[in-house]
Amino acid sequence: MNGARAEEFLAGLYAAGARDHAAAAESSRHAGSSGAADASAVGACIEQVDRRAQLHRLAILWLVCRPAALALAPVLLCAVDLPPPLRLVLGACCWLALWWAGNVISQFMVRTRGRRYRAGVFHNGSGPAGGRTEAILKRAAFLRPARPGGGAISDDLYTAPAWYMDGDWATVAAGLVAPEEQPRLRLLFPLEEGRHVMLDVFGLEHDAATAAPAQPVFLVLPGIGSDSSFPPAQDLARAAREQGSICVVMNPLGLRCDDLQRSVLFVHDITRVDLLHTAVEAVCKAAGTAPVVLAGYSLGGITLASYLGRCAAPHNIAGCICVSGALKTDFISSSHYLRFYQPIIVAGLVRDLLVKYGAEMLAILGVQGLASLASARSYFDLQQRFYGSLPFPPRARQLYCWWAAVEGWSWRKCVDVPLLIVTALDDPLHRSSSSLHSLVSHPAPHLSPKLTCRCL
């Protein structure tokens, strides 16, 4: 998209009601004043969340480093003259090392036996199903790293070391090594009375004389508790800028970088695809004749898949790519995700909410309710102790209604644009959902899953 088209794109967003973030900051900032007693109660809960978060970080550190630690235990046990208590500890470590090695071998055997099955299930071959997948993969060509001799998309994207079966190291390292922040313009776009969405727009500085005019516009939804600083979103924004495209990242309402929602009642609601539709329509209209590619990661991808099935997509949406996405949310109940990752994610969400809306949440939940929320460890706890206590209609407060509303399985055949769902066998957060396997017996014409053996 060239310089003139970038100006037209911004003009379209401003015409639809968007405002500069800096200009709206003072007038839209939520009320945060509270009495000394309220501030003390909220502060105590924040401290409780911080303490729990430190323990969760240590658990993840052990999870990532345990292969090396357990491998060294037998060496130390044999090479060093140690007192009996320490030998007992090292002996236990050796036993754990053998257990871990057996687990790795068993996973390897299962995956080796299932290779042919997976190739048939996920249509990575010839025939009508394979042709449909290849056609959709061509729409996802922008995901391919720009290096000579690149192989298939699945080979280029997923680079976790083969010996680390769970992919924990690749997942944690990607979050620690943040890419260079890309220049962006932050806008506020109104959705309905009291609600706005924060849009970060990248790639507005292209030279009109050198940029290609037919490049697509990318609209990105990051995962839960993430925003435009999320490493995959930054990587996509950089790739879009390099090819002369505009990339728009839609930040979750009231979370992370969005500190301008006026009430906790307006915080991100995963079931409100109507609000998402309002923002998507505005971006597509501002793009004019340029194609728009939707991209989502984790919950962002799940939400987009549901949205495309439940709402009529604007005419210029070329397709959608969901990385670590799914059509069902059964993966959130996997023991690995529940034990290690959900506690740290939920702690970050709760802390963010307490810092921004602590006084209001105290008035709604009370002291005991706020303390209970501070000890939440899972998405189930977060819904039951926070969203379930908000003054929503009774049905909207029920857990199964929340998850059923965000799942796209029931609407999969209503999707009318190419939808590619990319997931990985060794992704520790998003174990391959049963809905992807079910697509073999219940296919959808515009939807293709792509299962890889390595974690993103």
Give me the residue spans of the domains in the chain.
Answer: 3-64+153-452
Mean pLDDT of 143-148: 41
Please determine, for residue 151, whether its predicted confidence score (pLDDT) is greater than 80. no
pLDDT band of residue 242 (cuts 50, 70, 90) is confident
Residue 90: the pLDDT is 72
Residue 280: the pLDDT is 95
Residue 285: the pLDDT is 94
Residue 139: the pLDDT is 54
Phi then psi dihedrals of residue 248, to 5 deg: -115, 125
Mean pLDDT of 281-298: 92
Residue 100: the pLDDT is 66
Count of CB atoms within 10 A of residue 257's CB?
Answer: 17
DSSP 139-150: HTGGGS-S-TT-
Q: Going by DSSP bridges, is the β-strand pair 317-323/419-424 parallel, antiparallel, or unpaired?
A: parallel
pLDDT band of residue 214 (cuts 50, 70, 90) is low
pLDDT band of residue 22 (cuts 50, 70, 90) is confident
Residue 347: the pLDDT is 94
Residue with tokens 């004749």: 289
CB 45 within 8 A of CB 281: no
Say which residue, 127 or 396, is predicted with more confidence: 396
Instruction: Look up residue 397 and give its DSSP letter.
Output: G
Mean pLDDT of 426-436: 69
Residue with tokens 């501070």: 374
Say which residue, 48 or 232, is predicted with more confidence: 48
Please determine, for residue 30, whether its predicted confidence score (pLDDT) is greater than 70. no
Q: How far apart are CA 108 and CA 114, in angstroms?
A: 10
Which range is least confidently modeled, 43-47, 69-73, 272-276, 378-382? 69-73
Residue 25: the pLDDT is 65
Mean pLDDT of 390-395: 64
List the one residue out of 32, 37, 36, 55 whose CA is nearest residue 354: 32
List the one residue out of 306, 274, 285 whose CA is nearest residue 197: 274
Contacts for 400 with CB less than 8 Å, ≥ 6 apart: none
Please determine, for residue 191, whether its predicted confidence score (pLDDT) is greater than 70. yes
Say which residue, 195 or 133, is predicted with more confidence: 195
Please determine, for residue 83, whether its predicted confidence score (pLDDT) is greater than 90. no
pLDDT band of residue 166 (cuts 50, 70, 90) is low
CB 379 within 8 A of CB 387: no
Please determine, for residue 198, whether its predicted confidence score (pLDDT) is greater than 50. yes
Count of CB atoms within 10 A of residue 149's CB?
Answer: 4
Residue 384: the pLDDT is 85
Percent of the chain residues past pLDDT 70, beyond the cut: 65
Mean pLDDT of 311-319: 90
Provide the b/e sequence for 91-115 (b: ≥16 CB within 10 Å): eebbeebeeeeeeeeeeeeeeeeee
Sign of CA dihedral 105, 109, 111, 115: positive
Say which residue, 298 or 430, is predicted with more confidence: 298
The DSSP element (H or E) to which 283 belongs, if any, is helix 273-287
Please determine, for residue 161, whether its predicted confidence score (pLDDT) is greater than 60. no
Instruction: Look up residue 324 and give its DSSP letter.
Output: T
Mean pLDDT of 144-169: 43
Say which residue, 76 or 202, is predicted with more confidence: 202
Name the CATH code of domain 3-64+153-452 (choices 3.40.50.1820, 3.90.1280.10, 3.40.50.300, 3.20.20.80): 3.40.50.1820
Contacts for 363 with CB less than 8 Å, ≥ 6 apart: none
The DSSP element (H or E) to which 355 belongs, if any, is helix 342-374
Residue 286: the pLDDT is 93
* Collapsed DSSP state (helix, strand, coil) of residue 118: helix
Residue 167: the pLDDT is 66
Mean pLDDT of 58-87: 70
Radius of gyration of the chain (CA): 23
Please determine, for residue 456, whether its predicted confidence score (pLDDT) is greater than 70. no
Residue 284: the pLDDT is 94
Please determine, for residue 145, whether its predicted confidence score (pLDDT) is greater than 60. no
With 0.85 as the threshold, say if the pTM is over it.
no
Q: How far apart are CA 316 and CA 208, in angstroms?
A: 22
pLDDT band of residue 40 (cuts 50, 70, 90) is confident
